[in-house]
Amino acid sequence: MEKLNFKFKGTEQVKNKAHVGVVASGDLEVIIKPTTNSESTLNIVTGSDGFKEVWQSVLKRFFDRYPLIADFEINDFGATPGVVNLRLTQAMEALEDEK
């Protein structure tokens, strides 16, 4: 298990919250909450050690496309980068639905 922390700059302050996913084998849960900070903070707990750079690039691609500002909590149980990206996108869609 490894704890990772990232910060990303964005432009769009998130107003709602969202939760998707389950900490099942090969899956993860993503929680998005509004923040008063000026950038996104991500607290990640992952069951697979040594993938910090992979996370960095998956997240960078996500934030390049969706420059959100929010607090992210992620609990990951060995998801592939594809699944991570899918859940992040689903969480973002769940934010839209809340509106």
Partner 1 sequence: MKNSFVELHARERAIVLLDKGSNRELIDPYDNMISPHLMPQGIVPESDDGIIIEKGTLEGKKLVIISIEGNFQGGGIGEVSGAKIVAALEHVLEDNKNGIEEYPIIILDTGGVRLQEANYGLLSISEIQNQIVALKKYVPVIGLVPGRVGSFGGMSITNAIMSYIIGTNRARIGLNGPEVIEQEAGVREFDSSDKDLIWNTLGTTQRQATGLIDEVIDDDIDSFKKAILSAINEKKDSHKTERTDFYLSLLDSLDPSEKLNISSYQKIFDNVKEQEHHLPQAVASDKKHTKSRGRQWFEQLTGIKNADSDVSTVLHAKKDGFEYIAIVPDENNPFPRVRHGEVGLLEGYTVASVVNDLINSEKNTPKEEKTPIIMVVDVPSQAYGYNEELIGIHMALAASANAYAKARQAGHKLIAFVPGDAVSGGFLAHGLQSNRLIALDDLDITVQAMSKASAARITQRTIAELEEATKHVPAMAYDIENYQKLGALYTLIKGVKGYDSDEASISKVRAAIDAALADDDDETLKFRYTNKIAKESGRKATNQIRKMMDEQWDK
Give the binding site for partner 1 (CB under 8 A). 1, 17, 19, 22-25, 27, 29, 31, 33, 45-47, 73, 75-77
**Interior CA angle at 30 toward 36 and 62, to 5°?**
75
Q: Cβ closer to partner 1: 49 or 64?
A: 49
Q: Cβ closer to partner 1: 64 or 80?
A: 80
Q: Cβ closer to partner 1: 61 or 84?
A: 84
SS3 47: coil
Residue 64 CB, nearest approach to partner 1 (Å): 27
DSSP 1: -
Residues 57 and 51 sit within 8 Å (Cβ to Cβ) = no
